[in-house]
Structure 1
Amino acid sequence: MKKLSLFLILFSVLYNAQNQRFIYEYHFVRDTLNKNEVSKELMYLDISKDGSKFYSRDVFVRDSMRIAKYEKEIAATGSMNFTGIATPRKNALVSYKVFKTYPAYKISLQTRNGSDSYKVSDERKIDWKILPEKMKIGEFEAQKAISYFAGRKWMAWFSTELPFQDGPYKFHGLPGLIIKLEDESKTHQYELKAVNKYVATQPRQSKFDDEDPINITQEKYKKLFWELRDDPAKAFKEMMSKGNMGNMQDGNGSAVSAAAMIKRTENIAKEYQAKNNNLIELDLLIR
């Protein structure tokens, strides 16, 4: 039965050599001082003839629901009420998207820094050392490879039974799809769980999607990352200096001064940074 299942998977993948969706389970630790608290997210790797896109299933579902609500509101009323139809980001822990273009495998990461959206090009090369060690993972025979990238040592298991030189996040370049990937600390782990045909019309696109991201280099992004980390209330301060803060209220409806809001933003950011100290790209934390 297992051999038949493997045959059907391989037949589907090879017959439809493009437009495949590989579904990974991503386990990660956000706080190295609390390694027992492990977060989990399903991630999609959509492969087409021109490249791939890696992103969170939960964000995909949230965005699809949001777009559907926007379009329904427009159809019913002729206008859109952003406040009334906002969709909460429940359970969506991974917000970034990674794009790879074929055949050059140019890498870009779409993410937010403060209030702006960026598309960050990454020209760093991933050099793999393929090892003789092999094992079976799920339905597939896999072989081990190691590499150092973004401040971590990574161990990958790839399968030539899946003829794609791609994998989770920014990883690629092995003679088969990466079906399992983990860093040496085992605080970031991906494992392939399912293979489906990817419907090219999804996820739905809409003119109500986020604004076009700003294209920048990895070096520029790191600089912006540290600017926000050092001064998380920078945007508030700039608005205050221009007299654009307006009247602000806390959760109870009480008036809050601009200075108090800035201080609150800084405290929240410091708490977040302390509990999110295990970024997948660990070298971002090194100046």
Structure 2
Amino acid sequence: MDWDKLKTFHAAAEAGSLTGAADILLLSQSAVSRQIAALEEDLGVKLFHRHARGLIPTEPGRLLHEVTKEIAAKVALARSVVDDSHDNPSGDLRVTAPTALGAIWLAPRIAKFRDAYPDIRVHLLLDDHEFDIAGLEADCAIRPWESTQNDVIQRKLLTARQHLFASQSYLDREGAPKSVADLDRHHIIRYGPPQMAPIRNLEWAASIGRKPGEPPRPAVMEANTIYAILRAVESGIGIAGLPDYVTRGHDTLVPVLPDTDGPSFDVYFVYPGELRGSSRLSVFREFLLQEAKDWES
């Protein structure tokens, strides 16, 4: 089987659409469609059901996808080994992180890292859901939760604390709460719903001060990304609990009940055990550990 065709099939299976695969591979949608059709002809089986909502693998397609996952991981590992064979750390480094953490805390620090290691090309993959690090879908991850995957190594970067915030326009309009009990009459923006919000302990603004078993405060708005909640608070919709790594430097946000702490959580640097000897990962890990130490001090 031709690896180019398998790579195209794998991208389509991962993306769930021809358009998504074309974006991943930097090909036209018609080229992706031709490659998959040619592979189906080579194998004599149908690999996808084509629906308006995208591509759904057939049973042979599902089985082939399991194989291409292993091949893609081995190719990524081989590329990493080649990159790490150079005297100076160089090559591509694929880093995944949740959207807000990656965009607000991590991205501004990449320029400083590039100054120190100009031969490393950083690719940020920002998504609130978990990439398969053990399967080398990315080289490393920064996550506000402990990894549940086997065969990965993780180091704690920092402890994130949370507080309540609103915009000045909201406080001018609704007044500032004087106690946690006053939150009952305010507009709460909540992180959720739980099945679409993978980061834990972020919905606390709706339940702080409530007795065990008591229902949470009704929310005027719910969002499943921290970045969306941040923008909603800035627009004056209501009050929300936000991690300090999101709010630091945002002068439009006003602390509410500043002596009231939300639940803290740890942020981890995670990478596959197979890449423990990677010089690119090593220098990036040490850089982030120092940045986290400086940020917390």
Measured against the shorter chain, the TM-score band is under 0.3
> What's the TM-score, normalizing by structure 1?
0.20
Higher fraction of strand: 1
Which structure has more relative contact order (CA 8 Å, sep 6+)? It is: 2
> What's the TM-score, normalizing by structure 2?
0.20
